[in-house]
Structure 1
Amino acid sequence: MLHVQDLHAYYGKSHILQGVNIAIEEGEIVALLGRNGVGRSTTCKAIMGEVEPHGTVRFKGQDIAGKKAFEIANLGIGYVPENRDIFPGLTTRQNLILGLKPGQKDGSGRWSMQDMFNLFENLLNRADVEASVLSGGEQQMLTMCRTLMGDPDFIMIDEPTEGLSPQMTQKVGELLKEIASRGVSTLLVEQKLAIAMDIADRVYVMGHGQMVFEGTPEELRSRDDVRKEWLEV
């Protein structure tokens, strides 16, 4: 599905990604772990074309490095950034409609607006109120659901549980499992190890702009050295 090889990225003269390799197959949930500032979000942005990528980024066999973000989205990649980009002056329902691709009708893909409301009753209760009055957790749910409305085959989700209550965190975890059950491949950037290890098929650990570990959650649990050096505070 997605294969990244020797990916480099820069902010000015700062060399952030230093030869990242990552592969995600169809229907997989892959967690990308690491401390803040090691390049996890930059990896997502480079794949999505929001940061200039240097290296190979292939999606379904097609080289997408250098394409614009909207072109990459139209190929079937969804991206949920960590900053919860909603349209505050529009209603919840209108935000969801904006997630549809040009020419796409609600319900024509794997997800419909009713699916979103069934998964998150809070969004149904606030369907016709401005998104600006939603709580932080509700805004996070809205951002994820709006991206799913575009029916991506592969989705990158950056820190979806950051700042959320335990109840909302559980809801996000349930949605991630539902995404996988519908055949959507997922790259999950997550700080909470318990969530990532519970739902991921494989995990990568990043340190200093490179991957320092790749394996299953079980393999990572057995590697105290990796967790202590690259994950634990």
Structure 2
Amino acid sequence: MLEVRGLHAWYGKSHILQGVDLDVRSGEIVSLLGRNGVGRSTTVKSIMGQVVAKGAVRFRGEDLVGRRPHEIARRGLGYVPEDRAIFPDLTVRQNLALGRKSLRGAATFTEDNAYEMFPRLKERAETPGGVLSGGEQQMLTLCRTLMGDPKLVMVDEPTEGLAPKIVELVAQFLLAIRDRGIPILLVEQKLDIALDISERVYVLGHGKTVFEGTPAELRERGDIRKEWLEV
């Protein structure tokens, strides 16, 4: 569904991505792993058109390179940024409404679906987003993205800074998204969570793909984990 080949990206004169290759297929969660600064977030931003990039990015058979973020989103690619990017002065209900793709036709994910998955959001429906806890904001931004009826979702560091109990809730939600038929490209720092919920994983190092395989294969590759993942 998503094919990335030879992806290069720069910040100023810094050559961050130096030929990233990856695929996300229907019905799977794929995790993008690596130490901080290797280009994981830059990869998803480049795919989403937020960073000028060179290479090939094809989504559902269509080339995305050179398109603007809103054009990419309209083609069914959802993106949950690391900073969550909620509107702090708008209520939970208003934030969800802004994610809606169209007022016409039946939505595949509704406000009621969001409240069913996260009852806490229903309790806070009229509360401004800016006063929510970090976990509640993460729930909100995940659900807001689904309101746009994406065909694939890229999620950047969804468990960063969250309590262990909320981390587990987020992991369960990602599995629920996959079970709804929406594949996920996940950028995640917590190795255990990524390995537990992913069908396949990629490891980045120095802006390149240095490993591709299943979680079981990565668990067996102590050399890869030591060189590219462990502190």
The one-letter amino acid of 2:171's match is G
- The number of equivalent residue pairs is 231
1:117/1:210 Cα in 2 relative to 1: closer, same or farther (>3 Å)?
Answer: same
Q: Deviations over 1:84-119 (max 9, x none)?
A: 1000111000000000114446xx232111111111
- Structure 2 residue runs without a partner (length 5+): none
1:103, 1:109 → 2: CA distance?
9
Task: Report if aligned partners of 1:110, 1:182 keep a CA contact under 8 Å in 2.
Answer: no
For 2:93, the equivalent position in structure 1 comes to 93
The one-letter amino acid of 1:117's match is Y
For 1:224, the equivalent position in structure 2 comes to 222
2:104, 2:165 → 1: CA distance?
33
Moved over 3 A (4+): 102-105
The one-letter amino acid of 1:150's match is G
- Structure 1 residue runs without a partner (length 5+): none
2:189 alignment partner, SS class: coil
Query: In terms of mean alpha carbon deviation, does 112-121 or 211-220 score higher?
Result: 112-121
Tell me the TM-score normalized by structure 1: 0.97
1:19, 1:130 → 2: CA distance?
42
For 1:153, the equivalent position in structure 2 comes to 151
The one-letter amino acid of 1:38's match is V
For 1:187, the equivalent position in structure 2 comes to 185
For 2:47, the equivalent position in structure 1 comes to 47
Q: Deviations over 1:175-226 (max 9, x none)?
A: 1000000110100000001110000000000011001000000000000000
Counterparts of 1:63-74 in structure 2, within 5 Å, are 63-74=63-74
Identity %, equivalent residues: 60
Tell me the TM-score normalized by structure 2: 0.98
1:102, 1:68 → 2: CA distance?
19
1:212, 1:174 → 2: CA distance?
28
1:70 alignment partner, SS class: helix
1:89 alignment partner, SS class: coil
2:103, 2:91 → 1: CA distance?
21
For 2:60, the equivalent position in structure 1 comes to 60
For 1:126, the equivalent position in structure 2 comes to 124
2:72, 2:103 → 1: CA distance?
17
